[in-house]
Structure 1
């Protein structure tokens, strides 16, 4: 017998499947912040992350009847967000120019410690200076918790390529952070 994942929002999900707009808004409210952060880490710009988030929720609501409850709803939705974000990146032809403006769109988490806030900002800035492939693999592995096999499936690359990209991304990130500390 196939085991289903227990989901604390099953009632809301069922109401969404029935077309209840109040339930859809509630589901959006529950998951939008986390999904936005996932999209932002991949896309790099707030406006792109917002677009991806909206597209992902529209797609999720359209396909909610296909959700088989084999994984937590958040994991199912995150996969949609990641796929939408990656598709968004693939369709951008002038992505490099947009990367220069990325730091203007970042929101620094509130912190009582100014040094910690500055360090977080340096890491975020450095992350967005990485090439798209490096940043995507690093984000999926470190921040989203996917393993290299899963990343290879998501991105359509070899598992060894994922591992190599991750290793190179870490080294590049260290280099960028070192240069910021020396010259920033």
Structure 2
């Protein structure tokens, strides 16, 4: 019985996603014809997620808001380049991420720390057991890391980009990405352990 219910749920979710994607695709076609109503509907669908992505990198509400608006304008102006190879949301988020990183560099707050290129077999993959950890605590700890660690963990752990995608976004080599992510995770692990130790000592 349980597998029957599971199959029904999967079919319902699939049908919902198909309808949602179809609706978005229809709106995109209308946007290509400069339909302002369709543009507003697209904006309402994605603006919260895009703002969050921008804010996680810039850490400034006003900058994130301005950049998000700019990203939507940019996306609407080059919709003809959207080929549907990824979802529209993923395509739009990439624009937001790229613009956020460009702005961060302009602010001179983001200095890329050049890592020594280490052969793959020498890179020790750092793992973190997130079970039992408070999500807000993890996010807050990531925000407190130095800039290049914060940015690369935001891209990897929060935005969900893999090493190859991060390499393309940041113009790093794959080896440097793997090294930086591993070192950033190690630092995150140390900070989380220190925070939990303090909480245990002081009963918080």
Q: TM-score, normalised by structure 2?
A: 0.71
Q: Greater shift after overlay, 77-86 or 126-135? A: 126-135
CA RMSD of aligned residues (A): 2.2
2:85 is matched with: 70
Separation in structure 2 between the aligned mates of residue 95 and residue 68 of structure 1, nearest angstrom: 32
Distance 1:131 1:16 in 2: 40
Per-residue deviation, 1:95: 6.4
Shift in CA distance, 27/89, structure 1 to aligned 2, threshold 3 Å: same
Residue segments in structure 2 that go unaligned for 5+ positions in a row: 1-17, 112-131, 200-204
User: Stretches of 4+ moved more than 3 A in 1?
Assistant: 118-121
Q: Aligned equivalents of 2:63 and 2:139: distance in 1?
A: 16
1:167 positional shift: 0.7
Q: Name which of 180, 183, 195 aligns with 1:168.
A: 183
> Corresponding residue for 2:160?
145
Distance of 2:77 and 2:37 partners within structure 1: 16
Return the offset for 1:36: 1.6
Which shows bigger deviation, 150-159 or 168-177? 168-177
Report deviation, 1:73.
0.7
Tell me which of 87, 106, 130 is aligned to 1:91: 106
Q: Secondary structure at the match of 2:86?
A: coil
1:51 pairs with 2:79: no
How many corresponding residue pairs?
Answer: 159
Q: Deviations over 1:106-134 (max 9, x none)?
A: xxxxxxxxxx9x93332222111112211
Q: Which runs of 5+ in 1 are unaligned?
A: 1-5, 97-115
49-58 or 152-161, larger mean C-alpha shift: 49-58
Q: Paired residue for 1:15, among 14, 18, 30?
A: 30
The residue aligned with 2:50 is: 35
SS of residue paired to 2:67: helix
Secondary structure, aligned partner of 1:174: helix
Q: CA deviation at 1:156?
A: 0.4
